[in-house]
Amino acid sequence: MVEKSELPLPAAFLERMSRLLGDEFPSFLQSYAQPPAIGLRVNTLKISPEAYQHLSPFALSPIPWCPSGFLVSGEAQPGKHPHHAAGLYYIQEPSAMAAAEALAPMPGERVLDLAAAPGGKSTHLAALMNDEGLLIANEIHPKRVWELVSNLERWGVQNAIVLQETPERLAEHFGAGFDRVMLDAPCSGEGMFRRSETARREWTPALPKSCAIRQERLLESAARLLRPGGSLVYATCTFAPEENEAVLDRFLASHQELELVSLEWKPGFAAGRADWAAAVTGYPLRAELARCVRLWPHLSCGEGHFVALLRKKDGETQIGHSKLPRQAIPDEVRKQLRDFYAQNLHSAPPEGRLLLIGSDLYQLPQATPDLRGLRLIRLGLQLGTVKKNRFEPAHALALAMRTTDALRSLNLLPNSPELYHYLRGEQLPSHFREQGWVLVSVQGFALGWGKSSQGILKNLYPRGLRWLAPSK
């Protein structure tokens, strides 16, 4: 008889896991009586992990498979701290940090995150790339894609392009031109049962098989987008062998140009289970599936996750389209941009790779390809909006800056009443003699813009991000 968990886990799920895990099942089940771990990943584009450990108001302990990842001890709520609003860290489930570390992109490469929302893996990839090269973050769902944009902006990413496209269209458009591809595939979500009531409620015994069909289709597109010598990570947050080892075995059988690569072993990792998948499929599977990694809630500090690294051995490189043609920026727009920089910033304005879409001005990544015909959501760094006779900087520009970049900055402490007034969208007194834009920050890290005029600092913190908690 299968033991019961304190969580209302599906009976069919428990029966299957008991059969697969055998003697390990009691400790697996016991893990569901424990609260899920809180993890955060430090934004290395803004601060080193070592420096943030000294700055952090939370007690942190390292995550073995992610040098920038930490467990948050106690009852801390890192999502409600101003450091989160400044993009100093991303709150991420610890096991999910293993995927981007496995892909290990390098600065200057062309990288694609095929199913990117809400942005955990995209922000991780951007940090590993040191914001150099090209990161295309794609999300097909129209609501989730804006959550992706928000997270990339808070992270201060400048080299990312956000698209809302089907993987099939991306493969047709770009061809085999990416150095690395991340496929965090939609799945049955079994690994998130401890965190998600929705995942528990929507699960059925048939769900893993239906998910596997979609996952194989996504892998087909991912393989088409990968250049020879390139790397592909296939990741899920499910325990089901139908969605993990069985999917990969069928995929590799029809793709001789791809091979499984062993991952660097870390504490908390467990090997892939070809024997479990064989029990599902009814035929033996390739032994190298043991090179995949499984993460378990009873063996590690995170939830259930599966990670596989594949490398493309041969084929043809196809950069599907040439670079985006240059756009002539009106002289008046360039003048407004130069005036804004001269009056408010220490640095010179960017002159190249500018693109004006409507009234919004963007600075494109260096390796921007031709994107015509694709659904574009965000192109590199949004510099700001062109108004009549003036230029208004974007929130994204503030979060991509350091306070030393601004002629006027207001640096606040995390426990100051002024900081919470600002995050609530309220006006502050201004001590600046001259009028102009002010970069508001917490402990030296940018939060957003204000505008000083006649002793008042007008609050330009975006309405959709404003805090609802009482001022302190």
The pLDDT tens digits for 335-384 are 999 999 999 999 999 988 999 999 999 999 988 999 999 999 999 999 99
- Conformational region of residue 225, where left means phi above 0, alpha means psi within -120 to 50, and beta covers everything else: alpha
User: Who's near 234: CB < 8 A, 6+ residues apart?
Assistant: 183, 185, 215, 219, 222, 247, 248, 307, 308, 310
3-state DSSP helix/strand/coil percent for the chain, to nearest 5? Answer: 35, 25, 40
Rounded Cα distance between 61 and 53, Å, is 9
- Are 406 and 451 in contact by the 8 Å Cβ rule? The answer is no
Pairing of strands 258-261, 269-271: unpaired
Query: Which CATH entry fits the domain spanning 103-312: 3.40.50.720, 3.40.50.150, 3.90.1150.10, 2.60.40.1120?
Result: 3.40.50.150
- Are 449 and 410 in contact by the 8 Å Cβ rule? The answer is no
Distance of CA 369 to the CA centre of its chain: 22
Q: Is 76 exposed, middle or buried (0-12, 13-18, 19+ CB in 10 A)?
A: middle
| Structure confidence by residue, pLDDT tens digits, 187-229 | 999 999 999 999 999 999 999 999 999 999 999 999 999 999 9
* CATH 2.30.130.60 at 402-472, yes or no: yes
Rounded Cα distance between 379 and 353, Å, is 11
Please say if the pLDDT value at position 437 is more than 50: yes
Distance of CA 264 to the CA centre of its chain: 22
* Least confident window among 4-8, 39-43, 350-354, 367-371: 4-8
Q: How many residues does the chain have?
A: 472
Longest dimension (CA), the chain: 77
- Are 184 and 137 in contact by the 8 Å Cβ rule? The answer is no
CA distances 8 to 24, 27, 28, 190, 291, Å, are: 20, 17, 15, 13, 33
- Are 178 and 113 in contact by the 8 Å Cβ rule? The answer is no
Q: What is the mean pLDDT of the chain?
A: 94
In degrees rounded to 5, what are phi and psi of residue 265? -80, 135
**pLDDT at res. 472:** 43
Q: What mean pLDDT is predicted for residues 62-86? A: 95
**pLDDT at res. 319:** 57
Active-site residue identified among 66, 187, 211, 237: 237
pLDDT confidence band for 23 (50 / 70 / 90): very high
Comparing 319 with 39, the larger pLDDT belongs to 39
Rounded Cα distance between 295 and 95, Å, is 7
| Structure confidence by residue, pLDDT tens digits, 407-428 | 999 999 999 999 999 999 999 9
Is 66 annotated in the active site? no
Tokens of 176: 């085999």
Tokens of 300: 């590690």
CA-based R_g, the chain, Å? 24
Rounded Cα distance between 290 and 138, Å, is 30
